[in-house]
Protein backbone atom coordinates (compact mmCIF):
# COMPACT_ATOMS: atom_id res chain seq x y z
CA UNK A 1 0.00 0.00 0.00
CA UNK A 2 1.28 3.47 -0.90
CA UNK A 3 0.05 6.97 -0.22
CA UNK A 4 -1.15 8.62 -3.41
CA UNK A 5 0.99 11.76 -3.05
CA UNK A 6 4.71 11.76 -2.28
CA UNK A 7 6.11 15.15 -1.28
CA UNK A 8 9.58 15.97 -2.60
CA UNK A 9 10.33 18.34 0.28
CA UNK A 10 11.38 17.02 3.67
CA UNK A 11 9.17 17.76 6.66
CA UNK A 12 10.45 19.63 9.70
CA UNK A 13 10.58 18.11 13.17
CA UNK A 14 7.37 20.01 13.92
CA UNK A 15 5.46 18.85 10.82
CA UNK A 16 6.66 15.22 10.76
CA UNK A 17 4.31 12.42 11.78
CA UNK A 18 4.41 11.66 15.53
CA UNK A 19 5.20 7.96 15.24
CA UNK A 20 5.13 5.83 18.38
CA UNK A 21 7.18 4.95 21.43
CA UNK A 22 7.09 1.18 20.84
CA UNK A 23 9.18 -0.44 18.13
CA UNK A 24 7.17 -2.04 15.34
CA UNK A 25 7.36 -5.87 15.05
CA UNK A 26 10.21 -7.11 12.86
CA UNK A 27 12.20 -10.24 12.06
CA UNK A 28 14.65 -11.65 14.60
CA UNK A 29 16.90 -13.66 12.27
CA UNK A 30 18.41 -13.03 8.84
CA UNK A 31 16.48 -15.06 6.25
CA UNK A 32 19.65 -15.80 4.23
CA UNK A 33 22.34 -16.51 6.82
CA UNK A 34 20.33 -17.13 10.01
CA UNK A 35 22.18 -14.57 12.10
CA UNK A 36 20.51 -12.50 14.81
CA UNK A 37 19.28 -9.22 13.33
CA UNK A 38 18.90 -7.43 16.64
CA UNK A 39 21.99 -8.55 18.56
CA UNK A 40 24.78 -6.08 19.43
CA UNK A 41 27.50 -5.75 16.80
CA UNK A 42 30.09 -8.49 17.50
CA UNK A 43 33.51 -7.37 18.71
CA UNK A 44 35.84 -6.50 15.84
CA UNK A 45 33.03 -5.82 13.36
CA UNK A 46 31.85 -2.42 12.16
CA UNK A 47 28.58 -0.88 11.05
CA UNK A 48 27.34 1.71 8.56
CA UNK A 49 23.87 2.66 7.32
CA UNK A 50 23.35 3.22 3.58
CA UNK A 51 20.44 4.39 1.42
CA UNK A 52 20.39 3.85 -2.35
CA UNK A 53 16.76 3.64 -3.37
CA UNK A 54 14.22 0.89 -2.66
CA UNK A 55 15.67 -1.16 0.17
CA UNK A 56 14.51 -4.48 -1.29
CA UNK A 57 17.16 -4.46 -4.00
CA UNK A 58 19.66 -2.39 -2.03
CA UNK A 59 19.90 -4.95 0.76
CA UNK A 60 20.74 -7.80 -1.62
CA UNK A 61 23.70 -5.83 -2.99
CA UNK A 62 25.32 -6.01 0.43
CA UNK A 63 24.31 -9.40 1.82
CA UNK A 64 25.98 -10.92 -1.25
CA UNK A 65 29.28 -9.14 -0.55
CA UNK A 66 32.04 -11.22 1.02
CA UNK A 67 32.86 -9.91 4.48
CA UNK A 68 29.38 -8.58 5.24
CA UNK A 69 28.21 -10.25 8.45
CA UNK A 70 24.56 -9.23 8.45
CA UNK A 71 22.19 -6.77 6.77
CA UNK A 72 18.91 -5.30 7.97
CA UNK A 73 16.54 -2.88 6.25
CA UNK A 74 14.85 0.02 7.98
CA UNK A 75 14.32 3.75 8.14
CA UNK A 76 16.72 6.57 9.09
CA UNK A 77 17.49 10.22 8.51
CA UNK A 78 14.18 11.67 9.62
CA UNK A 79 12.18 12.55 12.70
CA UNK A 80 9.31 10.09 13.21
CA UNK A 81 10.13 7.45 15.85
CA UNK A 82 9.40 3.83 14.92
CA UNK A 83 7.66 4.59 11.62
CA UNK A 84 5.69 2.09 9.58
CA UNK A 85 6.37 1.47 5.90
CA UNK A 86 3.22 3.33 4.92
CA UNK A 87 4.27 6.33 7.00
CA UNK A 88 7.75 6.37 5.46
CA UNK A 89 6.20 6.19 1.99
CA UNK A 90 4.00 9.20 2.77
CA UNK A 91 7.04 11.47 2.77
CA UNK A 92 5.94 12.84 6.14
CA UNK A 93 8.55 11.18 8.37
CA UNK A 94 11.74 12.59 6.88
CA UNK A 95 13.19 9.08 6.74
CA UNK A 96 14.75 7.35 3.77
CA UNK A 97 14.79 3.58 3.17
CA UNK A 98 18.12 2.28 4.41
CA UNK A 99 20.25 -0.83 4.79
CA UNK A 100 22.17 -1.37 8.01
CA UNK A 101 25.39 -3.16 7.08
CA UNK A 102 27.52 -4.94 9.69
CA UNK A 103 30.83 -6.05 8.23
CA UNK A 104 34.23 -7.48 9.05
CA UNK A 105 36.89 -4.89 8.18
CA UNK A 106 39.52 -7.64 8.09
CA UNK A 107 37.72 -9.09 5.04
CA UNK A 108 36.12 -6.07 3.36
CA UNK A 109 37.17 -2.46 3.90
CA UNK A 110 34.86 0.51 4.27
CA UNK A 111 36.36 1.78 1.00
CA UNK A 112 35.18 -1.41 -0.72
CA UNK A 113 31.67 -1.09 0.70
CA UNK A 114 31.50 2.52 -0.42
CA UNK A 115 32.67 1.60 -3.92
CA UNK A 116 29.84 -0.95 -4.04
CA UNK A 117 27.42 1.68 -2.74
CA UNK A 118 28.37 4.37 -5.27
CA UNK A 119 28.42 2.02 -8.26
CA UNK A 120 25.10 0.33 -7.44
CA UNK A 121 22.87 3.39 -7.85
CA UNK A 122 22.74 6.90 -9.28
CA UNK A 123 23.62 9.30 -6.45
CA UNK A 124 22.83 12.41 -8.52
CA UNK A 125 19.03 12.10 -8.58
CA UNK A 126 17.95 13.94 -5.46
CA UNK A 127 14.60 12.78 -4.09
CA UNK A 128 14.28 9.79 -6.39
CA UNK A 129 16.04 6.71 -7.65
CA UNK A 130 15.10 5.67 -11.15
CA UNK A 131 11.33 5.37 -11.38
CA UNK A 132 10.96 5.46 -7.59
CA UNK A 133 10.11 9.04 -6.63
CA UNK A 134 9.92 10.44 -3.10
CA UNK A 135 12.05 11.57 -0.19
CA UNK A 136 12.18 7.97 1.08
CA UNK A 137 14.28 7.00 -1.96
CA UNK A 138 17.00 9.61 -1.57
CA UNK A 139 20.63 8.53 -1.50
CA UNK A 140 22.25 8.77 1.94
CA UNK A 141 25.11 7.57 4.13
CA UNK A 142 24.77 7.64 7.91
CA UNK A 143 28.00 7.15 9.84
CA UNK A 144 28.64 6.02 13.41
CA UNK A 145 31.99 7.72 14.06
CA UNK A 146 34.23 10.53 12.85
CA UNK A 147 36.83 8.23 11.28
CA UNK A 148 34.20 6.70 9.00
CA UNK A 149 32.84 10.16 8.18
CA UNK A 150 36.29 11.18 6.88
CA UNK A 151 36.48 8.07 4.67
CA UNK A 152 32.96 8.72 3.36
CA UNK A 153 33.70 12.36 2.57
CA UNK A 154 36.85 11.39 0.65
CA UNK A 155 34.97 8.76 -1.34
CA UNK A 156 32.18 11.19 -2.12
CA UNK A 157 34.63 13.76 -3.45
CA UNK A 158 36.47 11.19 -5.56
CA UNK A 159 33.31 9.80 -7.11
CA UNK A 160 31.84 13.25 -7.67
CA UNK A 161 34.90 14.17 -9.76
CA UNK A 162 34.50 10.95 -11.76
CA UNK A 163 30.81 11.60 -12.40
CA UNK A 164 31.42 15.17 -13.54
CA UNK A 165 34.20 14.01 -15.84
CA UNK A 166 31.78 11.49 -17.33
CA UNK A 167 29.19 14.21 -17.96
CA UNK A 168 26.90 13.29 -15.10
CA UNK A 169 25.46 15.59 -12.45
CA UNK A 170 26.73 16.43 -8.98
CA UNK A 171 26.23 13.98 -6.12
CA UNK A 172 23.18 14.75 -3.96
CA UNK A 173 23.79 12.02 -1.38
CA UNK A 174 22.98 13.06 2.18
CA UNK A 175 25.95 12.37 4.49
CA UNK A 176 25.62 12.83 8.24
CA UNK A 177 26.00 11.00 11.57
CA UNK A 178 23.35 8.38 12.30
CA UNK A 179 20.72 9.69 14.68
CA UNK A 180 18.59 6.56 14.90
CA UNK A 181 17.92 3.41 12.89
CA UNK A 182 14.43 1.93 12.96
CA UNK A 183 14.10 -1.64 11.62
CA UNK A 184 11.45 -2.20 8.97
CA UNK A 185 8.67 -4.73 9.20
CA UNK A 186 9.37 -8.47 9.00
CA UNK A 187 8.23 -8.89 5.41
CA UNK A 188 10.72 -6.31 4.12
CA UNK A 189 13.74 -8.06 5.63
CA UNK A 190 15.73 -9.91 2.92
CA UNK A 191 12.71 -9.41 0.66
CA UNK A 192 14.35 -10.59 -2.56
CA UNK A 193 15.54 -13.81 -0.93
CA UNK A 194 11.93 -14.54 0.03
CA UNK A 195 10.60 -13.26 -3.32
CA UNK A 196 13.29 -13.87 -5.99
CA UNK A 197 11.10 -12.44 -8.75
CA UNK A 198 10.25 -9.35 -6.71
CA UNK A 199 10.82 -5.74 -7.70
CA UNK A 200 14.39 -4.44 -7.73
CA UNK A 201 14.94 -0.84 -8.83
CA UNK A 202 18.70 -0.83 -8.26
CA UNK A 203 20.94 0.32 -11.11
CA UNK A 204 24.17 2.28 -11.33
CA UNK A 205 25.50 4.97 -13.65
CA UNK A 206 28.20 2.80 -15.24
CA UNK A 207 30.86 5.20 -13.92
CA UNK A 208 33.63 3.47 -11.96
CA UNK A 209 34.46 4.76 -8.50
CA UNK A 210 38.21 5.56 -8.65
CA UNK A 211 39.14 4.80 -5.07
CA UNK A 212 42.58 3.26 -4.63
CA UNK A 213 41.64 1.62 -1.33
CA UNK A 214 38.37 0.19 -2.62
CA UNK A 215 39.06 -3.52 -2.68
CA UNK A 216 38.27 -6.58 -0.67
CA UNK A 217 41.12 -7.37 1.71
CA UNK A 218 43.32 -10.40 1.18
Of 39, 55, 24, nearest to 47 by C-alpha is 39
HEC string for 101-138: EEECCCCECHHHHHHHHHHCCCCCCCCEECCEECHHHC
Q: Whole-angstrom Cα distance, residue 154 to residue 160?
A: 10
What is the DSSP code (8-state) at residue 65? S
Q: Whole-angstrom Cα distance, residue 88 to residue 83?
A: 6
Q: Whole-angstrom Cα distance, residue 91 to residue 17?
A: 9
Known catalytic residue at 54: yes
Q: Which residues are catalytic?
A: 54
Amino acid sequence: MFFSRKPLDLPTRETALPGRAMAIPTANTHFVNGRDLNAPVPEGLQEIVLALGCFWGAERVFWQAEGVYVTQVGYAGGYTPNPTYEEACSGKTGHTEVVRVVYDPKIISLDALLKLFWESHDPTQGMRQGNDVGTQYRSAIYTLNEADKAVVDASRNAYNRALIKAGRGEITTEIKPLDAFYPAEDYHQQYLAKNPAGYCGIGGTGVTCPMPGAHALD
